[in-house]
Amino acid sequence: MAEREIGPVDIVYAISGALKPVVGKDDFDIVPYGEERVLEICADDWTLYIAWGTGIAWLAIDDEPASQADFDSARREVMTEAVEDAFGLADSELGGFLAESLSRSRDAFSSAFARAISAKRLETR
């Protein structure tokens, strides 16, 4: 059986469905850039970019630490555990697409987020 392709509508529904109960519908935005085939999911202190056409994603915060040892604590300063759990739930609904896309970016900070949401996804099984 072939894997189903994950498209922007799937991503929007999964992420918005998981985030709304945690942060409220007015505390994050999902902005599509159709020509670039990118979704930007942003709150005040973090932004998740998802290039659904290439399956690459990355997480950005204003003060990204230089040291990998500080990645989790820096993320935790701007993103609650409940938000991280919500991304784990969305990742589960998308069959691991978010974590895989974050890892594919080869950005160390995004890869740390991928590991965190993968762990959340595995905890819910």
pTM here? 0.90
Q: Tell me what pLDDT residue 1 has.
A: 33
The one-digit pLDDT tens for each residue of the chain (125 residues) are 345 688 999 999 999 999 999 998 889 999 999 888 999 999 999 999 999 989 999 999 999 999 999 999 999 999 999 999 999 999 999 999 999 999 999 999 999 999 999 987 656 55
Q: Tell me what pLDDT residue 5 has.
A: 81
Q: Tell me what pLDDT residue 34 has.
A: 82
Q: Tell me what pLDDT residue 2 has.
A: 40
Q: Tell me what pLDDT residue 76 has.
A: 92
Q: Tell me what pLDDT residue 23 has.
A: 92
Q: What is the DSSP annotation of the chain?
A: -PPPPP-HHHHHHHHHHHHHHHH-TTS-EEEEETTTTEEEEE-SSEEEEEETTTTEEEEEETT--SSGGGHHHHHHHHS-HHHHHHHHHHHHHTTTHHHHHHHHTT-HHHHHHHHHHHHHHHHT-
* In the chain, where the domains are located: 8-123
Q: Tell me what pLDDT residue 119 has.
A: 86
